Amino acid sequence: MELFKIFENWAIEFNRIHYLFAVLCLVYAIVKILKLIVKRNELTRVLKPFAGPPKHWLFGHILEFKQDGTDLFKFVEWSNSYPFAFPFWFGPFVAYLNISHPDDVKKVLASTEPKDDFAYAFLIPWIGEGLLVSKGQKWFRHRRLLTPGFHYDILKPYVKLMSAGATTMLDKWELLSKSDESFELFEHVSLMTLETIMKCAFSSNTNCQSTKGESNSYIKAVFDLSNLVNLRLRTFPYHSEWIFQLSPHGYRHRKACKVAHSHTNKIIRERKEALKDEKELHRIQAKRNLDFLDILLCARDEDQQGLSDEDLRAEVDTFMFEGHDTTASGISWTFYSLACNPEHQQICRDEVISALEGKDSMEWEDLSKIPYTTMCIKESLRLYPPVPGIARVASKPVTFFDGRSVPAGCLIGMSIFAIHRNSTYWENANVFDPHRFLPENSAKRSPHAFLPFSAGPRNCIGQNFAMNEMKIVVAQTLRRYHLIEDPTKKPEMIPRLVLRSLNGIHLKIKPVDL
């Protein structure tokens, strides 16, 4: 009887605690909702001077996007209907001011304003606080420590490695060139750019184009993570960390992060083991060419402090993603652009054959001998920017060229896709015309109307690496194959951190008769 009384008292006490916990959760939820409502009202007031498309009271503008290949053109339409700037709402509580005038873009990008603390925060569990998302002194210090990794002397030996990666892919295409069927090329190009970044930046021979395994798992993980980050951005309940983590998508996200981190941890672990007796770059360079990871591991600031293990992995994760996925997008869409414009493709091919003078592969000196091909790559980057949008958070009030302003803390978005197709800055904006990038034509245009690598102090640190790889791969491909459009399989563009196609990018290829 006494034992029963004890259990009864425990049950009563447990119920009291449970009840108290439920009341506290309810109070917390009410306070949180009230704060969000106050934030929404403040955002509405701040953005009132800026006209924009009608929004749903709960979903904002998200329902306008159908995920059917037309979404990016919605931003082009809105940029034309609401010149210079318009608000865009992700659900009921998050809004960006989307700007499009080059003078305004220049003002925002010319400073070291941090990346926005909303969407980019969703990347941190994957790539950490590396150069892409870090801010303030941490960003400044890392940028300074990493810049030597992209010096001319470091990039020059990469050309042979890039050329070899392209050759491996093109050799695999021999069988495809004998078929009348089109094939999906983005996956092929992704494997090639991953193999190349592994060789160039980490001196790692994965042979992932020839063998299936860990590298293919990494590419799949990057694909899943890109989709999940985009899904989280579009699904406003997932803006809550705990709701997302408790969801099936949160489980998939953690699983994909584990695969990606395992890949980069292995790279770092193996290199640390190899360099345990070497701490100085000049001693390493005496044995072989330096790579990005050498510079990361040996980087020291003025206090002789290097990167922590956490910072090191963040930079490796960032560069692994940025160095292969964005470049794969740029190359794939350039192939598509040239397939759709065979007259320009032939001019490029003639130029490449002349520049190579009978050689099979590109060398460092050849990169400057293909100006028309370079213009075609830039025109493809204009029409199909690998990163279709970027964002910043204002650290201080910003006044735009037309006199309107926003306070500190405002999220500012820039649709690079829409800016690149804005008829105010580009005549016949949807037409492929590489002559736009003749020096005399570029001189007449604001440099902030063309932003494939962003601009200002936070521009893409690896843009020379990326452009070199695109030139090499495009040139060697055109020397060996004709790229032919498949009109029955038009790609449907979707933004997934990088520009992808919902149904892939399909082309036919035929050998070039030399």
Short-list 496, 514, 506, CA closest to 224: 496
For residue 391, what are the β-bridge partners? 413
What token pair was written down for 481? 């194959």
The amino acid sitting at 55 is K
Phi, psi of 427 (to 5 degrees): -70, 140
460 is in an annotated binding site: yes
3-state secondary structure of 280: coil
Contact 492, 68 (CB under 8 A): yes
What token pair was written down for 274? 């190899």
Q: How many helices (H) and strands (E) does the chain have?
A: 20, 11
3-state secondary structure of 492: coil
What span, in angstroms and rounded, lies between the C-alpha atoms of 450 and 272?
Answer: 40
What kind and span of H or E run contains 483?
strand 481-485
Short-list 316, 305, 300, 315, CA closest to 266: 316
> Phi-psi bin for 288: left (phi > 0), alpha (psi -120 to 50), beta?
beta
> How far, in Å, are 48, 211, 405 from residue 88 at the CA level?
12, 44, 16
% helix, strand, coil for the chain, step of 5: 60, 10, 30
> Phi-psi bin for 409: left (phi > 0), alpha (psi -120 to 50), beta?
left
What kind and span of H or E run contains 89?
strand 85-90
Helix axes 248-274, 309-321, angle to 10 degrees: 110
What span, in angstroms and rounded, lies between the C-alpha atoms of 404 and 468?
Answer: 40
Contact 345, 338 (CB under 8 A): yes
What token pair was written down for 22? 């439920």
Place of tokens 């400057």: 368
What token pair was written down for 344? 């320009």
Short-list 299, 241, 202, 298, CA closest to 124: 241
What span, in angstroms and rounded, lies between the C-alpha atoms of 50 and 44?
Answer: 10
> How far, in Å, are 35, 43, 44, 56, 86 from residue 38 at the CA level?
5, 9, 10, 18, 21
Annotated binding site for heme: 460
Annotated binding site: 460
